[in-house]
Amino acid sequence: MSGSLFGYNVAVVAGALGFLAHDYALTPFDQQVLVTSILVGAFAGAMGSGEVAARWGQRRTLLLASAMFLVVPPLIALTGDAWQIGALRAVLGLAVGTVSMVAPLYVAECVAAERRGALVSLFQLGVTAGILGAYLIDYAFTASGDWRVMFACGAAPSLVLAAVLATLPESPRWLALRGKMDAARAVLVRLQGARANVAELREPDDEPGRWSDLFSPLVRGVLAMAAGLFLFQNLAGIDGILYYAPAIFLSVGIKAETGAILATVGLGAVNLGATVVALLIVDRIGRRPLLIGGCLVMSASLLTVGLTLGGSSDDAALTLAGLTAYILAFAISLGPLPYVLMSEVFPLSVRARGMSLAAATSWVLNIVVAMTFLVMLDGLGAGPTFLFYAGVCAVALVFSWAMVPETRGRSLAEIERSLHMGRRLRDLGKPESEPGG
């Protein structure tokens, strides 16, 4: 539910933007500011939520975010000023940034190792479902041009999120970090049943860490790897494609606003379906193969789109096929896996703060892409723009091969022990009996 609120409230602007531009005479720059405002708030939310979650716990932090998701979308629908809409979307971004860090953290600390990849990836499934829901709502109200209803619908899932959180306990590892070992063991047994391994709560460093610890020799490599994955997740161009997909399809000859939004709905459906596939295979195939293979396909797909759009005539079918292949590959690699890996590799003492900083990196780059995508399309042309993103995916392929560990099936405690043993990043997921470093 956190992911669906994230996806819907970020993506709904794609269908509303044309009507807002007409109603308020927005320039291209104004439109980019309106798109980006929620991302600025999300950066602040991601940065601040690490400290809040470390002090209050993940469950209460998520409840706070759900309250913001409930209140702000109706306020956006009621306002009559474009700049007020932008300001309210920035406030909504605080909740978006918070769940982008806290929800994967909460799940990772509550579930068994053999299911952790799939269950943390459910967050990304929620994001894709929210994006698809936003596109469907956009399409439903395109004929009437009622952008107010588009925004207001974003509040509904928050009621479900709050109701679910009311039945759940606090993270057992957060309780252990606070010295509440009996409560932590009881929660772990409640959540995992007979498979619960309470010995996992006795992790090497059980004292709350500080922000400065993230830059210690032990942790800074992990921080660089987690932040790097989010850097590539965003610089690979997915946000620009999802935010401005209708404009892209109009530019290659798909007729009428409804046709462009309907094609965008198709991309959203592909994104959702491929993410379901990722859930089924991430704990079987593993993190590294999916990342490396996904980046390879993404690079080839965007190369095809770039060469097609840079030619003498745009081919709508080939462009759509290339973007579809790109989204398929993204949804099984750079879409869910940065969330999975960042929830696994940080030591317990700095896990909340480390994930907060890594997630904040994501939002900084998200802002950059949202503010430059249209500028690049207008200044460089569509072909060179997509060739640039193809190059980013190629660099991400090399980065994943060199730095990303295979953590499939390893407990958080085992991964942390490998880190304390001084192993290199790529070897953190190896069994302790295997050589590494």
Residue range 147-192, pLDDT digits in tens: 899 999 999 889 999 999 999 999 998 888 888 888 988 998 898 8
Cβ distance 437 to 423 under 8 Å?
yes
116 falls within a domain: yes
Spell out the residues 6+ positions from residue 372 whose beta carbon is closer than 8 angstroms to its own: 240
pTM exceeds 0.75, yes or no: yes
- How many structural domains comprise the chain? 1
Is residue 405 in some structural domain? yes
Q: pLDDT grade, residue 204 (50/70/90)?
A: very low
Model confidence at 39: pLDDT above 80? yes
Phi, psi of 118 (to 5 degrees): -70, -40
User: Residue 50 sits in which domain range?
Assistant: 2-168+203-427
Mean pLDDT of 347-364: 84
Closest CA to 206 of 234, 181, 240: 181
For residue 181, is it within any domain? no
Q: Taking Cα atoms as reference points, which of 152, 156, 192 lies closest to residue 172? A: 192
Contacts of 192 (CB under 8 A, 6+ apart): 110, 111, 112
Closest by CA to 91, choosing from 69, 59, 123, 62, is 69
* Distance between start and end Cα atoms, the chain: 39
Question: Among the residues of 310-410, which ranges form H helices?
Answer: 316-331, 337-345, 351-380, 382-403
Residue 178 in any domain: the answer is: no
Please report the pLDDT score of residue 435 as a whole number: 58
Q: What is the mean pLDDT of residues 67-92?
A: 92
433 Cβ contact list (under 8 Å, min separation 6): none
Least confident of 61-75, 134-148, 282-296: 134-148
Nearest by Cα to 155 from 94, 104, 92, 233: 92
Of 48, 295, 57, the residue nearest 169 (C-alpha): 57
For residue range 404-436, what is the model confidence (pLDDT) as tens digits? 999 888 888 888 888 888 888 888 877 766 655
How high is the pLDDT of residue 3? 93
d(CA 47, CA 94): 9
Sequence-ordered strand ranges (E) for 23-92: none
Give the three-class secondary structure for 348: helix
Classify residue 173: in a domain, yes or no.
Answer: no
Looking up residue 236, the CATH number of its domain turns out to be 1.20.1250.20
Q: What is the DSSP string of 176-195?
A: HHTT-HHHHHHHHHHHHGGG
Instruction: Identify whether 435 is part of a domain.
Output: no
Average pLDDT, the chain: 84
Query: For residues 100 and 336, what is the distance between their CA atoms, to the nearest angstrom?
Result: 11
- At 105-114, the pLDDT tens digits run 999 888 888 8
Listed residue (87, 12, 93, 108) closest to 47, CA to CA: 93
Task: Say if 190 falls within a structural domain.
Answer: no
Is residue 266 a part of any domain in this protein? yes
Higher pLDDT, 308 or 316: 308
